[in-house]
Amino acid sequence: MTDDARDGNRDESRTGPRPARDGHRAGRGTVTGEEEARRMHALVERLYPLCRSITGDGVRRTLEIIAESVRLRVREVPTGTRVLDWEVPREWNIRDAYVKDASGTRVIDFTASNLHVVGYSVPVSATMTLDELRGHLHTLPDQPGLIPYRTSYYAETWGFCLAHDTLEGLDAGPYEVVIDSTLSDGSLTYGEHVVPGRVAEEVLVSCHVCHPSLANDNLAGVAVALGLASRLAETDPWYTYRFLFAPGTIGAITWLARNRERTQRIKHGLVLACAGDRGPLTYKRSRRGDAEIDRAVRHVLRSSGREHGIVDFSPYGYDERQFCSPGFDLPVGSLTRTPYAGYPEYHTSADNPDFVSPEAMLETLETCWEVTRVLEGNRRYLNLSPYGEPQLGRRGLYGSLGGRSDTRQAQMAMLWVLNLSDGRHTLLDIAERSDLPFPAVADAAQALRGAGLLKECAL
């Protein structure tokens, strides 16, 4: 029995296309960046109408759509299962909800926007005046045209969200108030996709699938994760890549509780969220602060020339705080564009597909891809001719650079690799020390190794 199959909870497997393995490491196929951007945005548009929460059929349907693109192992963890200091909650599903005025008009309508209902609202069927209803209504007076997103996962209550402008236009009532929902024993659902590598050590890529109609805060991250998985499927990667599609907080906690032994394999990790707005890229370091993933992302962002920010770890935000909790302390950072709660559309109806930019998602994907190229290519070498500078011209190394637009950079990369390949420095160390792009350093190392001047050392 495989590690993936060995567990004590109820599991269901759903299988999508098997990733191609073509034996090389740099494949991109014939898909253009423009096409990737279009596909990611189309996925956001398709997933946007679904009513997701931390449990329920909206999550399952989301994972079914994801499984059309990748092989996905879907897990069902029963209500009441103990997961670290938490417990899997009861499952919530909703069919309809509304507030009708005396004429029968739905003044608040779940079918118009699933943000209209507070997540995890218990069933309601009553007639109320506006004064009686007001304590269950949530608006944003400072953003009067927008519907807020609100939840109440662990306290049984109910409520509606609406634009403040709408509330201001309501009369005294009475109103028919209905929430057709269920809160009962069921399960928490999450999915995993694995791109096999040459070694068992893993790169974890995590994104959350628990928010309803919020395009940037979580769907753009899902789309970028799938774009990265698609690119990796065309390679023969060194590391094994594990993609986790789970509800926020409780989903990551559940995964950690069920995979304590596997966490020892996680060499690097990224949490993806808010991946499609037009703000600059932002990287939040892991709790360790100087993990290889922290250095790799920093190097890629600085070398790319893209506008960006780098912030220190804090135990607030997305699921990096679960992976970086002190008992696990995994090397997992978080990549977003505008950070958590940092844009006015955050957790409102303005976070819609029009707010998400295909070009921004593509830039996020390119950044993730370049980070994987650093992680995949980071090796340590030993200079086999360390006494003085070896004669590169005699070995045809300088001659091979003639006519290149980056000749000077390539020459400097060779000299830096030779000088620092003492068995202690990695290629990322050299790229950081020399202030040269990692690809230039990696290309130099490959050329020098081919000329018999370098020997690879164990990391």
CA atoms of 207 and 215, how far apart (whole Å): 13
User: Which residues have CB under 8 Å from 174's CB, separation 6+?
Assistant: 102, 127, 128, 129
CA dihedral 124, 347, 359, 375 (to 10 degrees): -100
> CB–CB of 314/277 below 8 Å?
no
Phi, psi for residue 319 in degrees, rounded to 5: -75, 0
CA atoms of 245 and 386, how far apart (whole Å): 48
List C-alpha distances in Å: 249 to 11, 135, 164, 369: 20, 28, 30, 26
274 sits in the region (left: phi over 0; alpha: psi -120 to 50; else beta) called left
Q: Is 347 annotated as a binding residue?
A: yes
CA atoms of 300 and 163, how far apart (whole Å): 41
> CB–CB of 74/12 below 8 Å?
yes
- Give the number of other Cβ atoms within 10 Å of residue 219's Cβ: 32
User: Which residues have CB under 8 Å from 327's CB, separation 6+?
Assistant: none
User: Which residues have CB under 8 Å from 383's CB, separation 6+?
Assistant: 418, 419, 421, 422, 453, 454
**CA-closest candidate to residue 416, choices 367, 454, 376:** 454
Cis peptide before 174 (omega within 30 of 0): yes
> CB–CB of 315/252 below 8 Å?
no
Amino acid letter, 234: E
Task: Compute the chain's Rg from CA coordinates.
Answer: 25
Going by DSSP bridges, is the β-strand pair 160-161/422-426 parallel, antiparallel, or unpaired? unpaired
Residue for token pair 């070694």:
199
> CB–CB of 238/302 below 8 Å?
no
Amino acid letter, 325: S
Distance between start and end Cα atoms, the chain: 31
Going by DSSP bridges, is the β-strand pair 266-272/332-336 parallel, antiparallel, or unpaired? parallel
Going by DSSP bridges, is the β-strand pair 124-128/175-184 parallel, antiparallel, or unpaired? antiparallel
Q: Which residues are annotated as a binding site?
A: 211, 217, 347
Q: Which residues are annotated as a binding site for Zn(2+)?
A: 211, 217, 347
